[in-house]
Amino acid sequence: MRQIYTGDGKGKTTAAVGLSIRAYGAGKRVAFFQFMKALKSHEVDVMERLGIYVDREWDGKFIRKSPTPLQIKMVKNQYKRAREAVKNGYDLVVLDEIIVAAYFKVLMEDEILFIMEEAKCELVLTGRGATQKMIERAELVTYMKKIKHYFDEGVKAREGFEF
């Protein structure tokens, strides 16, 4: 099955991490690709300690207007590794924030649709802005909607809760 967690609400990555730990606990082979995340989060630390394969390649900088050539190269390299993972023996592959890579035109929508089509495993894509074609191709889509968030009141990201 292909799953998408999208929307402007908090919890997309957290849901994908939870599913990854559940699958790993059931003896499944899990690969978690984290695209374009500037900060390493503690849930990634836990997954690595458990033995879940985590693939991160990022320069630690947020994209403000457009990605740098280095950032584009890193995402393209990671995309190639993710394509291998979806075809070669993993039971679950998570492509965290890959939808955002399409928003910034680092990856094209067709590249994401292609990886969705060639997946031979359970596949999870996360990020704001899933396109209609992505939604149509998935069997499960969850839209996380922000109703209220303390960030809007100026509260900064807190260790252990946001990262």
What tens digit of pLDDT does each residue of 118-134 get? 999 999 999 999 999 99
Indicate the pairing of strand 92-96 with strand 53-56: unpaired
Domain residue spans in the chain? Answer: 2-153
Please spell the DSSP secondary structure of 63-122, one letter per residue.
-SSS--HHHHHHHHHHHHHHHHHHHTT-SEEEEETHHHHHHTTSS-HHHHHHHHHH--SE
DSSP at 27: T
pLDDT of residue 139: 98
pLDDT of residue 66: 83
Q: Which of 145, 143, 156 is nearest to 5 (CA)?
A: 143
pLDDT of residue 150: 87
Rounded to 5°, angle at Cα 38 from 81 and 158: 130
pLDDT of residue 149: 85
Give the pTM. Answer: 0.91
What topology is assigned to 2-153 in CATH?
A: Rossmann fold (3.40.50)
Rounded to 5°, angle at Cα 117 from 20 and 108: 90
pLDDT tens for the chain, 163 residues: list them. 999 999 999 999 999 999 999 999 999 999 999 998 877 788 889 999 999 999 998 777 777 778 889 889 999 999 999 999 999 889 999 999 999 999 989 999 999 999 999 999 999 999 999 999 999 999 999 999 988 888 888 998 888 877 7
Residue corresponding to tokens 């291998």 = 84
CA atoms within 13 A on the CB side of 112: 34
